[in-house]
Chain A
Amino acid sequence: KAGVTQTPRYLIKTRGQQVTLSCSPISGHRSVSWYQQTPGQGLQFLFEYFSETQRNKGNFPGRFSGRQFSNSRSEMNVSTLELGDSALYLCASSGRGADGELFFGEGSRLTVL
């Protein structure tokens, strides 16, 4: 069974640009959640999607958005990038959401210059 796939793995952007990250969950999983990991703040929850509906959102500004498609693949978008957005962005898939086992992707490492 293929794992969770995140693309791209690494990317460099400049301030003010926008970025779109993709996450393909394990086949059959309908829940995809996104996280930001930085050395200073650790892991922080961004949002969770289940069957194309956002069920919850963490404490991030509106520049951070996401969506989920009918095949459960998910994208997150960060607009008007700031230096502080440099981080490892992780997604996880689950068959049940927060009450189920989480399977993480390798992450997308974003550097904002």
Chain B
Amino acid sequence: KNEVEQSPQNLTAQEGEFITINCSYSVGISALHWLQQHPGGGIVSLFMLSSGKKKHGRLIATINIQEKHSSLHITASHPRDSAVYICAVSPGNQFYFGTGTSLTVIP
């Protein structure tokens, strides 16, 4: 049983496209995190959400607590956005992770 489901698993986009990655979860949570991992690299936290919407530059994250769903949007995608994006949920002091979405942005 997977507490966190992400879609799509793989995504290829042309530079400049609008991208959406989805995350659905089945447990009650206190927070949801969106993480970014570059090949061979460490993990960077993009967003931590408990409600509503957050925006950092070209990245937007939304969460609907009632529907247990979150989305990560990338506007005007760029090749440097190529990475694995991971959704993580926390019911409180522990974490469940999605399997990640591998994004490739082609120039």
Residues of A near any B CB (own CB < 8 A): 33, 35, 42-45, 48, 50, 55-58, 90, 92, 97-107
Contacts and interface: CB of A to CB of B under 8 A. Distances in A.
Contacts of A101: 45, 48
Given A43-B86, A98-B31, A101-B48, A90 B97 contact: no
Interface of B: 30-31, 33, 35, 41-45, 48, 50, 86, 88, 90, 92-100
A42 B97 contact: yes
Contacts of A44: 97
Nearest to A97: B93
A56 B88 CA distance: 16
A58 B94 contact: yes
Nearest to A35: B95
Contacts of B35: 102, 104
A3 to B, nearest CB: 9
Contacts of B88: 43
A104 B44 contact: yes
